[in-house]
Structure 1
Amino acid sequence: MAVGLVLGAASAGWTVGSPRAAAVVADVLGPTSTSTPEVIDRTGSQSRASGGRTLLAPDPVVVPQGMLPTEPAPGIVALPPGLTAQDVSAGLRSAEVPTSGAGTFSVVPGADPGPGTGTVRTVRVEVEDGLAVDPAAFAATVMATLNDPRGWGADGSISFARTDGDAEIRVLLASPDAVDDLCAPLRTGGEVSCGTAGRAVLNLKRWVLATSETADDRTTYRHYLVNHEVGHLLGHGHERCPGPGQRAPLMQQQSYKAAPCTFNAWPFP
């Protein structure tokens, strides 16, 4: 399958970027975890029912099945099957993983100057068309990860600013087939991701499922995936587990497994 890159306005999806040398891949299969039913406010807050009353809280609140109100409050919708509130916050709108999407990519519109500490590296976030993903939520997750105090800029040497124009680094969320095309000649086999040619290409399959080791903490795995693939674009190669029970280096290929090391999502944890 050939992956088409659409040119035009940011909202229509255009992809302009300069190739940059980088390295290899990141991920592997993991089971989908399920959760108890939850409800989420479309504005981002979550509701909890108690004694027939609906209480709004600023933070996500798990709603046990027996506590759901008889009549949902206006603006409240059930979470998609198999997804948690954290999955939705990461941009997912379905736990299904299609083999392919449209093969074209749309740039997430908007810009953010970042924290302004150290050398600024520009980042453009793109999502393959046809995926059940909220682009703005995905972009927010990517940028929050990159600018986290445990991230690549922890020593104050670098920060990341999002743009919908030309950028040094492109972060793409893609279907397995599109990943294979974009990562070639690297062999991703529909399963793994890559960081090469100025693009951190994240496999939707990994974004949804994580790995067997991280199926209960997919949020931490997503931090790892962003940091690891962008790490390749920053010039970092793969590292090995230093020894049983020790924390894995971020650039270890933890999508295969972190063991005998313990899983780690951050360059400076």
Structure 2
Amino acid sequence: MPIKEQLNAIEKNQEAIALAVTHAVLKLGVATLVRVHIQTPTKALFRFNGLLIGSDGQRFCYLQLPKLSAQQKKQYFGAGYRLRLHGVSADGSLIRFGGKVQGLMEAHHTLLCVELARDGASATPLRQDKRFNVELSAALSIDGKASVPVTIHDLSVGGCLFSYRAIGLQIDTEQNATLSLTGISASQALTMSGVILSHRLKGERYHCGLKFDDRAKSQSAWLVTNLDYDGEQYRLSIPHNDGEVTSSLT
């Protein structure tokens, strides 16, 4: 099922929480990939992926647009055109809110200024399973490219949140990705695959949400059952076949 259909199905089956639109923008954070739907007065619909780069905390938010033709900008970005925006927050919620096109700013990148709607913002949890705070080292592979080191910060049976240094690798939502735990013996190698649901810049690191596919869930379930709590966070303790704990990953 395509990601758009998955998100729509989740929103129908899970309870959406109403929240102030300014709060919705803050939950998405800075440098977050979002999906935007613009409707013209003639009911034409234009969809694209943009980068939420911030807001004034009151009436407006700002998006970096992809490369668009002059004709597309003229046809679909008229002042006052209504739009809907959705993205996935760091806590794994689908955030949706509306607004109107205020105007375009042309510089090195094209920026869209959006006047926020006063109501209609919502947050719908995407991950209902219990999450465990961890610090696990892994290698990330996307589309056959060379792997990069990442840190997994929270883990559940259905997915995880990981981060990597903001250099080199380009990641988009809806891309397939694979995480392989590092620092464990080859006989205990664990690889989990899935699809990227969120991607945002926080400080000097990108933070990404990964939704595991059905095959990976058996691996993540095994990981969860082998987590030990040390009073601050969960650590992975991998036993020999006889049950003896031999190592602890941080």
TM-score, length basis structure 1: 0.25
Q: Using CA pairs below 8 Å that are at least 6 residues apart, which structure has the higher relative contact order?
A: 1
Higher relative strand content: 2
